[in-house]
Amino acid sequence: MSDAALFDAGPLSLRARLFRRAVKVLIQPIFARADLSVEQRRQKLLRLTQATQITIPRGSHFESAPLGGIDAEWTRPAGAVRGTLLYLHGGAYVIGAPRVYRELTSRLAREARVRVATIDYRLAPEHPFPAAVDDAVSAYRALLDAEGAERLVIAGDSAGGGLTLACLLRLRDEGLPMPAAAAILSPWGDVTCSLPAMTAEAWREPILNVEALRECGRMYAGDTPADHPQLSPVHADLGGLPPLLIQGTDAEVLADDARQLFAHAQAAGVDVTLEMWPGLWHVWQLFAGLVPEADAATRRLGAFLGRHLP
């Protein structure tokens, strides 16, 4: 069964309107400023995150431990768990780290009753494609050996959403058992950056800079054609994937990435649901605990992943 809808969340809350303005001031320069090196972008994002993680749910526990030879941060909620979520962070394949995602992973852990393994996969330009896919698959294999596919789910945002699909495609092609379900948030599914929303929505996109995004895509692709299906899953045959939830917003330059991935998954017979939340911003779910729409979206993600676990 497949479903798509412009999700009716009602009028934007006052907090959503205020934070939409704030992210443009605080986050967009990290992506857009041409004078910043990749390393400076990474450090600025980490410093911003350290200053803003103030609503992590009580009882959440974090620890670092490798997974399949890949550094990872493990998030565990208070109480018992039903399985494990492999989380693949965003950052245009060039920035980002597990600790940036503690607000989100702690809520997904609580809502889905899972422990979350957020891997510190290798980043471009030092490690272009397929390094990130190799790391994701290695981590999944380690989880598979430890507890079996029926207790595993996978999710990712932005570039991590594209990476989630790339990982699933590799698993399918290698004949490995699929996880019970997958979720992708504001997915970057086309590193060629050629879908219509890339220009049509640029005027109201508060975070992503299109030219910077294209440059990140070139760094990640390296010598591989950008339309390779594991680089740009909008060009892939998505048949054989597990139940999939896609959350996006109509007010970002990646809006058509979400729509196209839904259409291709639906055509391939995947049990896929698309939620397009109006008027928000790229990966607004990261602001759970601060913005009501982020809380609501995170609860829906957790419920979707949790109901596919035993």
* Active-site residue set: 158, 252, 282
**C-alpha closest to that of 277 among 4, 7, 3:** 7
Q: How far apart are CA 283 and CA 182, in angstroms?
A: 16
DSSP run (H or E) holding 274: strand 272-277
Q: How far apart are CA 41 and CA 219, in angstroms?
A: 15
**C-alpha closest to that of 90 among 127, 55, 129, 45:** 45
Pairing of strands 72-76, 3-6: unpaired
Residue 154 contacts by C-beta under 8 Å, 6 or more apart in sequence? 85, 86, 87, 88, 140, 164, 167, 168, 179, 182, 183
Helix 131-147, helix 159-173: angle, nearest 10 = 60
Pairing of strands 72-76, 272-277: unpaired
C-alpha separations of 147 from 68, 133, 193 in Å: 14, 21, 38
Burial of 181 (0-12, 13-18, 19+ CB in 10 A): buried
